Homo-oligomer: A and B are copies of this chain.
Amino acid sequence: MTWGADNLPYGVFSRRGEAPRVGVRYGDRVLDLAAALHDEVFAAPTLNPFMARGRTAWHDTRTLIVNKLTSDLAITEPHLVPLDQVRLHMPFEVADYVDFYCSLEHATNVGRIFRPGTEGLLPNWRHLPIGYHGRAGTVVVAGTPITRPHGQLGAGRFGPSAKLDIEAELGFVVGVPSELGAPAGAFEDHVFGVTLVNDWSARDIQAWEYVPLGPFLGKSFATSISPWITPLEALPRIPGRAQDPEPLDYLRRQSDWGLDVSVEVSLNGEVVSRPPYSAMYWTPDQMLAHMTVNGASLRTGDLFASGTISGAQREERGSLIELTWNGTDPIKLAGGETRTFLEDGDTVTIRATAGGRTLGEVSGTIR
């Protein structure tokens, strides 16, 4: 089945009138972990306390859950709650949120659009995974309505954004903190799992504000994540994309953290793009190494995202600004409709699969 024993992502759910608690998705049901495993860490309203326990605990818990769902299924059955009886919540409390810019094709496309007449890619891009801090307090769970932001669209011009866009990304969730003043350890010792991210972006606000300190209000109004966090153990790993020039020592890959994840972006139910995560230039282990090489510490709940996933083909681009070349080349939808950027009432859904398993979906509707 799609959500089988080889998948088992974690989330936070509640039954009507009850407090949120941690569960694992299995088929169309949620396993109530506090009840099934008799462990109070799962009675918390976020994954943070469990994520802080570290890699050995994550592995042992997964083994235990698989046992409960296979050999002990008869005893476990009462703790499996049908999905239609629960509400899903933010799965973890976000500490810091960092967004990277790891797709060569995305950085090139956006560079050409924002800086016409240039090559697009800037001189530093191939040397380090470019990133910036986003607003942690406005990361919301899938399904939260997205209010179209107002802001400055140019000198003396104010109004609702006319270039509301999406960015299809993978997000990585930190479980184990690191010390201030030293680089973090191995990727798999810190990172708990993966979520899907839609980094909503108001391109007109962003274009006016982003020089010289980067995106701010063009991004900070909302970032949506999927309710299920897939543990690293469930992901199919592949070698990362070849890099030229050879990265500096601290960015050198120690093991394969390329991910064979296929992403699909739908607008009002119609697929408009299929970005391949395998095409990403910088891998998540490199993002983590870069983010902490200056001694910046990690906290449980830190979220860092890949940046827009875009492949080499037009139909693999993970944002509307690329798909429509900043609105100059609208996409055609069924029934004769077209889109440059998002209109009120539009629903965007980002889905991802990896090795036949689903990583879930993140959707949001503009109001």
| Residues of A in contact with B (beta carbons under 8 Å apart) | 95-96, 98, 101, 111, 114, 122-124, 127-128, 130-138, 140, 144-145, 147, 149-152, 155-156, 158, 180-182, 202, 205, 208-218, 220-222, 245, 248-250, 290-291, 293-299, 302
Tell me whether B147 and A216 are in contact (CB under 8 A).
Answer: no
Chain B residues near A131: list those with CB within 8 A.
Answer: 213, 216
Instruction: Pick the contact of A180: B140, B156, B248, B298 (CB < 8 A).
Output: B140
Instruction: Pick the contact of A135: B96, B144, B155 (CB < 8 A).
Output: B96
Chain B residues near A221: list those with CB within 8 A.
Answer: 181, 294-296
> What separation, in Å, do the CA atoms of A297 and B149 have in the docked complex?
12
Chain B residues near A205: list those with CB within 8 A.
Answer: 294
Instruction: Pick the contact of A212: B155, B214, B220, B249 (CB < 8 A).
Output: B214
Known: A124-B211, A208-B124. A217 touches B293 (CB 8 A): yes
Chain B residues near A245: list those with CB within 8 A.
Answer: 156
Q: Interface residues of A: mostly helix, strand, loop or mixed?
A: loop
Instruction: Pick the contact of A133: B111, B124, B128, B220 (CB < 8 A).
Output: B220
Tell me whether B213 and A297 are in contact (CB under 8 A).
Answer: no
> What separation, in Å, do the CA atoms of A144 and B179 have in the docked complex?
13
> What separation, in Å, do the CA atoms of A250 and B137 have in the docked complex?
22
Residue of B nearest to A140 (CB): B180
Tell me whether B213 and A137 are in contact (CB under 8 A).
Answer: no
> What separation, in Å, do the CA atoms of A245 and B156 have in the docked complex?
9
Instruction: Pick the contact of A95: B114, B136, B150, B209 (CB < 8 A).
Output: B136
Query: How many whole Å from A118's CB to the nearest CB in chain B?
Result: 11
Tell me whether B296 and A135 are in contact (CB under 8 A).
Answer: yes
> What separation, in Å, do the CA atoms of A111 and B293 have in the docked complex?
27
> What separation, in Å, do the CA atoms of A208 and B290 have in the docked complex?
14
> What separation, in Å, do the CA atoms of A291 and B217 have in the docked complex?
7
Chain B residues near A134: list those with CB within 8 A.
Answer: 133
Q: List 30 A-B contacts (CB under 8 A).
A: A96-B135, A96-B136, A122-B212, A124-B155, A127-B156, A128-B208, A132-B132, A132-B213, A133-B133, A133-B134, A133-B216, A133-B220, A135-B296, A137-B298, A137-B299, A137-B302, A150-B295, A156-B245, A156-B248, A158-B248, A158-B249, A181-B221, A202-B294, A217-B290, A217-B291, A220-B291, A221-B294, A221-B295, A221-B296, A222-B295
Tell me whether B135 and A136 are in contact (CB under 8 A).
Answer: no
